[in-house]
Structure 1
């Protein structure tokens, strides 16, 4: 079901509006669970379109339902709205006005694209079979995440399919990532306290040195990936924080270690927990120390449904052209879109928004992150085409 000339005219008519929405949101970013002005802005735009049932399932989220003229399936379309605690270093006329807060992950663009799609699809209500549910989600950046709150609130209980788009600054403009299978990873964290016996650095024999134990632990956990796991599996374990002592002539009582664990499969995820604690136990017991271990499960893998991804791939080709399709593999980043997949098959789409010629080359979560705004139109087109094809 190709986009028609009428579709093109509608998208062309709102192209500048979508850009202005994005710039307004970029200028007024809000952190996770604090998106009060952002959600109110989205709410007001949706109400102004007419024909939508607009609700506030949580304090800082918005959901709008478009009921078609004929019965059919329920399709969820999702955008996230929160920003990051980063001070923006871009020199833009719409640079962040909130010091220390920045849209450094493209969520301003996601929100603007979905608003654009909602406006167009509302005008096409007579052609819609079933229901389109526009989900403007809060707090993607901060676990346990806004997606799980919306799942718990019943927002997707009767949804049959769900689609999300993520702008990617390191994927060139004009490319849309099509990934079959895992798109993002299980993203977990751990804290480990290694407890020894403090003392004077000149008399180590009277102490139980937690620094020595910590060094062995950090080295040994890297062998999990190389020696304890099937090499065909993917696992990343990174030690990212380390606090020990305050004086150079004192052996400290304890060492605090923190780290990140990324995996794709549920089995490897559980194995990693077991392996990490086993090494902590072995190292500390061998030296006469003890430990306290805390593992925090973060977002689960976003796994694209094969059949739905095939439909979305066709949507991209129809809406933009076959040359836009770029087959890709999963990345080790995390995304709470995975929460929705407890309820319905989904497809998560990386959309190219980088452009070296315009200097848009910085990665996500960087103080100079930006997107090529030409990608916004592409996102609107994909959302509209997906709604027509999946429900049609």
Structure 2
């Protein structure tokens, strides 16, 4: 018989669901909360749950957040509890996040009489897809009664028993957008009678990459990536519509603003010269996660009791995007990385990979750390 957190993680892993379409996931989570006797609400955001421990102890409230959605990836791990849903997989570890926070809820509820604060347990939909599930929850006021908030993310590149944490900006500002190019169909033998939307997309792509290379400081981390280009129906027809799906990630807000503005100018210029039309559509925007320094200090203090000071490692600021930023922009927050790679082995499959696996012994560490954080800070944190 595996531990509660492992059993919960495997159940969630077998039935990964995407975006806001989380019926089975939500049913499982609500069933477990009902068994615990923990009250919860679904009034914040969409397809999300907020459970409350010690609702009457409102002098100080700690939030603990997990994202719960999966990715459109076909799993290739060969695990006995691999995804049973075609083309859907928990390849970013949100099954682990949800299981850790669910078990944290169970443990805290069992000792609620000894806990001198209120705890809000957040199960958030659509971290991977627009519109951000966190953004919707914040707009509905989920942070109004929360004084501080913590979260973790599994890290396949770090050993079990280690956590990585960084005060201040922890990742990148992330934008997802698509570019639409509209031309005019014609026979391929009479190209002069058409306007080639694919050619517009290719030319714009090249000019965007050139602009970033020549107009942004080389020391500033920038990622511009085109993940998909869709256009055309046959080899002998000039394409009249082409879509380009892009992401932009930066460490500086001024670079983000400059590049997005230039992209709009580039696509419109290319379209005008070509005799076509272009459109910029912003799908999602995730601000950078900024870890509160006091919260980082308090998480480290609790982590020392669980894993020892030598297992708290410095985190290098990455280029990932994370909508936990919406919570941490409202109240002091901290997200840390939880090592999930078996020590002595090389984890070859990272996040968003069809073969991504974790060492499940890390799950209990995550639970213990969250529980310890609540116990250490239940009387409040002075952020002044």
Q: Give the TM bin, normalised by the shorter chain.
A: 0.7 to 0.9
Query: Is the contact between residue 70 and residue 128 of structure 1 (CA under 8 Å) also seen in structure 2?
Result: no
Residue 356 of structure 1: how far off its partner (Å): 7.1
Aligned to 1:72: 59
Partner of 1:119, secondary structure, is helix
Distance, in Å, in 2 between the alignment partners of 1:170 and 1:184 is 16
2:43 maps to 1:57: yes
Cα drift, residue 332 of structure 1: 2.0
Tell which deviates more after alignment, 196-205 or 102-111: 196-205
CA deviations 1:315-360 (Å, max 9, x no partner) are 2222211121111123222222122124212111111112376675
Aligned to 1:366, what secondary structure does the other structure show? Answer: coil
Q: CA deviation digits over 1:15-72, x for unaligned, max 9?
A: 812111112222233333222232232223223334x433233563322212288663
- CA drift at 1:144: 0.9
- 1:221 is matched with 208
Is 1:328 paired with 2:319?
A: no
Q: Which piece of structure 1 moves more, 207-216 or 38-47?
A: 207-216
| Aligned length, in residue pairs | 378
Structure 2 stretches lacking a partner, 5+ long: 380-384
Counterpart of 2:334 in structure 1 is 347
Quote how far apart the aligned CAs of 1:212 are: 4.4
Task: Tell me the alpha carbon deviations over residues 214-255 of structure 1, each in whole angstroms, 9 at most, x when there is no partner.
Answer: 333211111332222233433211223234444545544454
Cα pair 2:195 2:276 within 8 Å, conserved: yes
Alignment of 1:21-170 (within 5 A): 21-50=8-37, 52-57=38-43, 60-67=47-54, 72-170=59-157
Between 195-204 and 350-359, report the one with greater CA deviation: 195-204
TM-score, normalised via structure 2 length: 0.87
Separation in structure 2 between the aligned mates of residue 38 and residue 209 of structure 1, nearest angstrom: 45
SS of 2:59 mapped into structure 1: strand
- Give distance in 2, aligned partners of 1:224 and 1:106: 35
Equivalent in 371, 380, 384 of residue 384 of structure 1:
371
Structure 1 residues 245 and 21: CA distance shift in structure 2, 3 A: closer
The separation in 2 between residues aligned to 1:97 and 1:199, in whole angstroms, is 45
Secondary structure in structure 1 of the residue aligned to 2:217: coil
Deviation readout 1:93-151 (Å, 9 max, x if unpaired): 22223333222221221122112222222233233222111112222222113222322
**2:162–2:307 Cα contact (<8 Å) kept:** no
Instruction: Give distance in 2, aligned partners of 1:247 and 1:55.
Output: 51
Q: Once the 2 structures are TM-superposed, how far is the Cα of residue 370 of structure 1 from its aligned partner?
A: 1.4
Q: Structure 1 residues 174, 298: CA separation in 2 closer, same or farther (over 3 Å shift)?
A: same
SS in 1 for 2:164: strand
Please give the alpha-carbon distance, in whole angstroms, between the structure 2 residues aligned to 1:378 and 1:74.
23
Q: What is the correspondence of 1:242-281 to structure 2 with a 5 Å cutoff?
A: 242-281=229-268
Instruction: Provide the C-alpha distance between the structure 2 equivalents of 1:93 and 1:200, rounded to a whole number of angstroms.
Output: 53
Q: Summarize the Cα distance change of 1:319–1:90 in structure 2 as closer, same or farther, 3 Å threshold.
A: same
Shift in CA distance, 231/310, structure 1 to aligned 2, threshold 3 Å: farther
Q: Report the Cα offset of residue 371 of structure 1.
A: 0.9
